[in-house]
């Protein structure tokens, strides 16, 4: 697994508050960071932006319930008739003094996330039991995790003993004018199109917790804007780019499409 090498061109990111300042303060003081917010609100883009801004290698891990400690730390592999040790993304980030970002960390098993504890307190060490090493994290290393609080329940929530090891930042969807700027910055779409798509998102988000499990994300608005800019009919683009990604219920989808049709004057 190779790192997401920082590009000289910093990924576009529109700050919604003081998150850039918080990140930089946390990094300078060698503090781990937890970012919580809804799906598609810009958490992953923010981390990529900050890694490039600071010139650090970035290792991103998409967490899931089959993720093991070995997937993070590493394992012995057999090749060419011999056994060799292969570092996992967490170990590589520690060795290189980069950022290890665990996306949707609550999806990982709790016995897996325990491996983070020595790195997420004042020790800043990573014991590797299988090799006998104890790695000390260099000053530039940073541990960042994220999750969506909307999915929290008794079975899938971050343990308090883990959560309290982190500086925490809450993300939400941008204000309308900020979201319009993001759409224009990401897609170079006309301002009027950005305004209409953001208005659709606002109307759909008002339905969250009633008809929809997830709110319409900024990511989906970007998808729709790209399709429309490429010449696709706006209503059709919103159906495939936004609505069908929010629900599998045909009746709910048609009800949501009324918002789209009204916005584009159909």
**Rounded CA gap, 127 and 137, in Å?**
11
- What total number of domains does the chain contain? 2
> Average pLDDT, stretch 181-208?
93
Residue 119 DSSP one-character state: G
At 76 the pLDDT is: 87
Per-residue confidence band for 217, with pLDDT thresholds at 50, 70 and 90:
very high
> Average pLDDT, stretch 184-213?
88
Whether residue 19 contacts residue 33, with contact meaning beta carbons closer than 8 Å, is answered with: no
pLDDT digits (tens, 9 = 90+) for 96-140: 999 999 999 988 887 788 899 999 999 999 999 889 999 999 999
Looking at the fold, whether 85 and 213 belong to one and the same domain comes out as no
Looking at the fold, whether 243 and 154 belong to one and the same domain comes out as no
pLDDT digits (tens, 9 = 90+) for 110-122: 778 889 999 999 9
Give the containing element (helix H, strand E) for 147: strand 142-147
Please indicate whether residue 47 or residue 214 has the higher confidence score (pLDDT).
47
At 161 the pLDDT is: 80
Residue 230 domain-assigned (yes or no): yes
**Rounded CA gap, 124 and 139, in Å?**
9
Looking at the fold, whether 42 and 125 belong to one and the same domain comes out as yes
Looking at the fold, whether 159 and 219 belong to one and the same domain comes out as no
At 175 the pLDDT is: 92
Last residue of a domain, one of 170, 185, 215: 170
Looking at the fold, whether 23 and 123 belong to one and the same domain comes out as yes
Residue 6 DSSP one-character state: P
Question: pTM here?
Answer: 0.85
C-alpha distance from residue 91 to each of 85, 137, 139, 167 (Å): 12, 9, 15, 22
Give the closest residue to 31 by CA, choosing from 96, 98, 119, 127: 119
Residue range(s) defining the domain that contains residue 241 = 176-263
């Amino acid at each position: 697994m190779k790192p997401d090498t920082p590009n000289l061109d910093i990924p576009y990111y529109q700050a919604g508050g003081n998150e850039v300042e918080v990140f930089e303060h946390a990094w300078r003081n060698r503090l781990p960071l937890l970012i919580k917010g809804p799906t598609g609100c810009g958490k992953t883009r923010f981390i990529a932006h900050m890694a490039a801004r600071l010139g650090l290698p970035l290792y991103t891990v998409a967490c899931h319930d089959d993720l093991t400690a070995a997937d993070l730390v590493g394992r012995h592999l057999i090749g060419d008739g011999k056994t060799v040790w292969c570092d996992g993304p967490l170990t590589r980030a520690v060795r290189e003094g980069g950022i290890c970002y665990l996306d949707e960390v609550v999806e990982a098993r709790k016995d897996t996330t325990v491996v983070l504890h020595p790195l997420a307190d004042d020790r800043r060490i990573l014991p590797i039991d299988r090799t006998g090493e104890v790695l000390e994290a260099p000053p530039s290393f940073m541990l960042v995790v994220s999750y969506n609080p909307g999915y929290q329940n008794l079975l899938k929530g971050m343990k308090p003993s883990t959560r309290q090891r982190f500086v925490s930042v809450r993300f939400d969807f941008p204000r309308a004018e900020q979201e319009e700027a993001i759409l224009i910055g990401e897609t170079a779409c006309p301002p009027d199109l950005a305004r209409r798509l953001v208005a659709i998102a606002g109307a759909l988000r008002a339905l969250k917790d009633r008809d929809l499990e997830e709110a319409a994300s900024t990511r989906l608005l970007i998808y729709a804007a790209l399709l429309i800019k490429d010449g696709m009919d706006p209503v059709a683009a919103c159906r495939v780019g936004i609505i069908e990604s929010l629900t599998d219920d045909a009746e709910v989808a048609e009800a949501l499409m009324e918002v789209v049709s009204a916005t584009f004057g159909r």
